[in-house]
């Protein structure tokens, strides 16, 4: 029984683009269909290893041009489609690659088609009608899917014995006005050239019957058009960057060259080849739950698994690529793979390799490393923090910060190397951005002393620093937490004297703020600012902010200490008022506290109280 169905809206849009494509590189349809055929054979082969109902066979892809009918057929003996799969896979854009492409298309122009894996629908760039004859080992009958690339397609049951898929393209008429010559897709020479260009490394033979002349007689001969050597098996010297870039873009659905390519062959007690890439742009779903890390796994060039998670640690989850190892048996089940010692050893080697390549990049090409770091720094930082800092030593030298001394990033190593001998700690301050941090009252004295301060502007930063605790024995020290440790003795002494002198007013303020702060003290770290808020050791004010934004926010609160600048005229003013009328201290204390909160970028805790006191004060000042 014949069924007519509508394409999903997204697919209709993409199809429309394909049928009306003015894009010149229409030839890429062949690459797409051959690559689908090769994937389908991979699937069948893999399933046949564990499922005896699926027979193994000699796997092949055939190109069958027919000049009379103006059709080109691409035939494979891969896994085929069931009826449901035809609907799911050809009636809708299900694949992430095509989806990403669609999103891109909406923003950019059509010229990116050639760089992107757009898949099956690209057939409609060259054909006005497409027929798919297919048989899956999971269904008793075969099916014919057909469409003229408009809003609907049809599915009919057909007789088909062999498992696999045959895609027939009814090529467009040549358009002499536009010099578009679709009939070339029927000639041997062009097909051979295109296979060489795009599909040479496909692992299964791509075959074609070719008529050759021998002693003036014509005879038909079967030719294999591809070399079948996977790109990663070719020698490095023979490979051009371009080849690797093209391979990456096609295999991993990107439209830009990778930022970094790592091609490594290891031989010895463990033998494998790895071809790894870091995408230039963060993949669109990278920070979503949907993103799956992993590397493709091959055994002797035969595909085993698409995203093997065990081959990549979470903190390098941005790496894409593949591993091919003869040490991994083809017949291994996925559960067994997880326990597999070889996989573990390869994973550990790959991790070291990625790390050392990144370190090399940091050393030899800073600009490129910065590009990488800007894209993926959160993943690295989370890696330092995760698992109670288990991997911090591995990752700490890949982390960089902007600082108060320059707009460039520096590493912790560079910070420690260039700090003055006498400086005992690595100073840092947390805030929204550079300007916010530079304006913090706590920066007053540090600026005076000329210390370099790391800017912590990502939410994860302070959590990471607390886990790091020290960098090669130099401790980290927050400017917004605990005691300032760079105050000289003389100043400390004079502060002590001042605290004694102002005992009563400090005590009164502390009392006024007893629900809000742990302590009120005179500060040695301020010069221009009247007050600042610091936190005790442990949880900082910034961390409090971050934790409160979390979905299941707990009621966390950092310990607050209000520090007052004894040399600021404001302190003298408060003192004078206090002597005349001690009851005014509540207002001053509250306003000072709230002002310090604001300077930290924290919200006013009690806005009614704050504005009432402020008004009182203004009225008062008018009285005197």
Q: Which stretch binds ligand ADP (CB under 6 A): 90-98, 195-203, 221-229, 369-377?
A: 90-98
Tell me the C-alpha distance between 328 and 347, whole Å.
13
Asked if residue 40 lies in contact with residue 165, where contact means CB atoms within 8 angstroms, the answer is yes
| Cβ 90 to ligand ADP shortest distance, Å | 6
Cβ(251)–Cβ(298) below 8 Å: no
Whole-number minimum distance, CB 166 to ligand ADP, in Å? 9
* Minimum distance, C-beta of residue 43 to ligand ADP, in the bound complex (Å): 7
Binding flag, residue 57, ligand ADP (CB under 6 A): no
In the bound state with ligand ADP, the residue whose beta carbon lies nearer, of 9 and 511, is: 9
Residue among 75 and 381 whose Cβ is closer to ligand ADP: 75
Q: Is the distance from CB of 328 to CB of 299 less than 8 angstroms?
A: yes
58 vs 490 by CB, closer to ligand ADP:
58
Is 482 a binding residue for ligand ADP by CB under 6 A? The answer is no
Using rule CB under 6 A, residue 389 touches ligand ADP: no
Nearer to ligand ADP, 80 or 149 (CB): 80
Tell me which stretch binds ligand ADP (CB under 6 A): 35-43, 203-211, 283-291, 456-464: 35-43
Q: Which residue in 28, 79, 260, 597 binds ligand ADP (CB under 6 A)?
A: 79
- Angle between the 585-599 and 607-623 helix axes, to the nearest 10 degrees? 120
Q: Between the CA of residue 34 and those of 78, 168, 208, 306, 351, what are the distances in Å?
A: 11, 13, 13, 18, 33
| Choices 112-120, 234-242, 266-274, 347-355; region in contact with ligand ADP by CB under 6 A | 112-120
The dihedrals phi and psi of 221, each to the nearest 5 degrees, come to -135, 150
Residue 114 in contact with residue 27, Cβ under 8 Å? Answer: no
Number of chain positions touching ligand ADP (CB under 6 A): 16
- Both tokens of 519, joined, read 């302590």
Helix, strand, coil tally for the chain in percent (to 5): 45, 20, 35
Q: Is the dihedral of CA 154, 160, 165, 167 positive or negative?
A: negative
Q: Is 101 in the site for ligand ADP (CB under 6 A)?
A: no
- Which range of residues in 64-72, 76-84, 453-461, 504-512 is near ligand ADP by CB under 6 A? 76-84
- Sequence-ordered list of residues with C-beta below 8 angstroms from that of 591, at least 6 positions apart, any chain: 610, 613, 614, 617
Under rule CB under 6 A, residue 142 binds ligand ADP: no
Unique residue bearing structure tokens 């004894």: 566
Site string for ligand ADP, 237-266 (x = CB under 6 A): ------------------------------
40 counts as binding ligand ADP under rule CB under 6 A: yes
Residues 350 and 309: their CA atoms lie apart, in Å, by 13
Residue 449 token pair:
């002393």
Piece in contact with ligand ADP (CB under 6 A), picked from 93-101, 493-501, 523-531, 612-620: 93-101
Q: Is 471 in the site for ligand ADP (CB under 6 A)?
A: no
Cβ 529 vs Cβ 565: under 8 Å: yes
Residue with smallest beta-carbon separation from ligand ADP:
119
CB of 122 to ligand ADP, least distance (A): 8
What is the contact mask toward ligand ADP in residues 156 to 195, using x (rule: CB under 6 A)?
---------x------------------------------
Coil, helix or strand at residue 398: helix
Cα distance between residue 513 and residue 518, in whole Å? 8
If one asks whether residue 199 binds ligand ADP (CB under 6 A), the answer comes out as no
**72-80, 372-380, 459-467, 481-489 -> range binding ligand ADP (CB under 6 A):** 72-80
- Smallest separation, CB 254 to ligand ADP (Å): 13
Which run of H or E residues covers position 490? Answer: helix 489-501
Tokens (6 digits) for 98: 């095509």
Q: Given the complex with ligand ADP, which of 303 and 476 has the nearer CB atom?
A: 303
Stretch that binds ligand ADP, among 32-40, 171-179, 379-387, 576-584 (CB under 6 A): 32-40
Among 7, 81, 124, 476, binds ligand ADP (CB under 6 A): 81
97 binds ligand ADP (CB under 6 A): yes
> Which strands make up the sheet holding 531-535, listed edge to edge?
519-522, 560-564, 531-535
* 119 binding ligand ADP? (CB under 6 A): yes
CB of 20 to ligand ADP, least distance (A): 18
Residue 40 vs 532, nearer CB to ligand ADP: 40
Of the listed pieces 74-82, 360-368, 383-391, 427-435, which binds ligand ADP according to CB under 6 A? 74-82
28 or 343: CB nearest ligand ADP: 28
Contact between 294 and ligand ADP per CB under 6 A: no
Say if CB 117 and CB 93 are below 8 A apart.
Answer: no
- Would you state the structure tokens that stand for residue 586, as one six-digit string? 């509540």
Coil, strand, or helix at residue 473?
A: coil
Task: Please select the residue that binds ligand ADP; options are 117, 313, 383, 566, rule is CB under 6 A.
Answer: 117
Interaction of residue 372 with ligand ADP, rule CB under 6 A: no
Residues 6+ apart with CB under 8 A from 467: 384, 385, 388, 389, 392
Q: Quick one: DSSP state of residue 518?
A: S
Gap between the Cα atoms of 344 and 323, Å rounded: 12
Q: Which one of residues 11, 36, 396, 430 is an interface residue with ligand ADP (CB under 6 A)? A: 36
Task: Say how far apart CA 556 and CA 301 lie, in whole Å.
Answer: 54
Q: How far apart are CA 577 and CA 381, in angstroms?
A: 49
CA 32 – CA 120 distance, rounded (Å): 7
Our finding on whether 567 is near ligand ADP (CB under 6 A) is: no
Assess contact for 445 and 480: CB atoms under 8 A. Answer: no
Entry field: residues in the chain: 624
Give me the residues that bind ligand ADP (CB under 6 A), please. 36-37, 40, 76, 78-81, 89, 95, 97-98, 117, 119-120, 165
């Amino acid at each position: 029984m014949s069924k007519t169905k509508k394409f999903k809206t997204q697919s209709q849009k993409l199809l429309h683009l394909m049928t009306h494509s003015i894009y010149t590189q229409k030839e890429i349809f062949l690459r797409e269909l051959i690559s689908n055929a090769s994937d389908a054979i991979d699937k069948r082969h893999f399933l046949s290893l564990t499922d005896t109902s699926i027979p193994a066979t000699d796997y092949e892809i055939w190109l069958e041009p027919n000049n009379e009918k103006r059709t080109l057929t691409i035939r494979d003996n891969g896994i085929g489609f069931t009826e449901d799969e035809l609907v799911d896979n050809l009636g809708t854009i299900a694949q992430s690659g095509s989806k990403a492409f669609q999103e891109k298309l909406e923003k950019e122009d059509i010229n990116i088609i050639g760089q992107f894996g757009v898949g099956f629908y690209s057939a409609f760039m060259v054909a006005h009608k497409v027929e798919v004859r297919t048989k899956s080992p999971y269904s008793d009958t075969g099916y014919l899917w057909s469409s003229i690339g408009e809003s609907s397609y049809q599915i009919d049951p057909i007789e088909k014995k062999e498992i696999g898929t045959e895609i027939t393209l009814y090529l467009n008429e040549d358009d002499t006005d536009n010099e578009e010559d679709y009939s070339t897709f029927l000639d041997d020479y062009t097909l051979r050239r295109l296979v060489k260009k795009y599909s040479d490394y496909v692992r299964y033979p791509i075959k074609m019957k070719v008529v050759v002349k021998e002693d003036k007689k014509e005879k038909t001969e079967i030719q294999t058009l591809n070399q079948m050597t996977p790109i990663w098996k070719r020698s490095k010297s023979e490979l051009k960057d371009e080849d690797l870039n093209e391979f990456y873009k096609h295999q991993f659905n990107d439209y830009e060259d990778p930022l970094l390519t790592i091609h490594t062959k290891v031989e010895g007690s463990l033998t494998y080849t790895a071809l790894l890439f870091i995408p230039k742009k963060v993949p669109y779903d990278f920070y979503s739950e949907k993103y799956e890390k992993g590397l493709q796994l091959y055994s002797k060039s035969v595909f085993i698994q698409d995203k093997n998670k065990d081959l990549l640690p979470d903190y390098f989850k941005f790496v894409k690529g593949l591993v091919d190892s003869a040490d991994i048996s083809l017949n291994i089940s996925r559960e067994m793979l997880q326990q597999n010692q070889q996989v573990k050893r390869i994973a550990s080697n790959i991790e070291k390799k990625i790390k050392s390549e990144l370190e090399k990049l940091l050393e030899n090409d800073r600009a490129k490393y910065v590009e990488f770091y800007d894209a993926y720094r959160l993943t690295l930082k989370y890696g330092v923090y995760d698992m109670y800092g288990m991997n911090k030593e591995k990752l700490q030298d890949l982390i960089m910060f902007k600082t108060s001394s320059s707009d460039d990033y520096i590493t912790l190593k560079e910070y420690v190397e260039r700090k003055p001998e006498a400086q005992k700690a690595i100073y840092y301050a947390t805030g929204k951005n550079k300007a916010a941090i530079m304006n913090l009252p706590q920066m007053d004295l540090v600026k005076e002393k000329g210390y370099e301060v790391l800017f912590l502007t990502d939410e994860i930063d302070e959590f990471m620093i607390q886990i790091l605790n020290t960098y090669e024995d130099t401790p980290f020290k927050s400017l917004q937490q605990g005691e300032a440790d760079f105050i000289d003795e003389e100043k400390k002494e004079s502060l002590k004297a001042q605290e004694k002198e102002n005992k009563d007013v400090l005590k009164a303020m502390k009392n006024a703020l007893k629900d809000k702060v742990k302590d009120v003290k005179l500060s040695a770290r301020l010069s221009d600012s009247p007050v600042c808020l610091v936190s005790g050791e442990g949880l900082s004010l910034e961390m409090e902010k971050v934790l409160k934004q979390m979905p299941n926010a707990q009621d966390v609160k950092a310990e607050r200490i209000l520090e007052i600048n004894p040399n600021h005229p404001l302190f003298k003013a408060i003192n004078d008022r206090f002597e005349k009328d001690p009851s005014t201290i509540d207002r001053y204390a509250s306003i000072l506290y709230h002002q310090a909160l604001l300077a930290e970028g924290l919200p006013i805790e009690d806005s009614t109280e704050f504005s009432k006191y402020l008004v009182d004060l203004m009225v008062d000042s008018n009285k005197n």
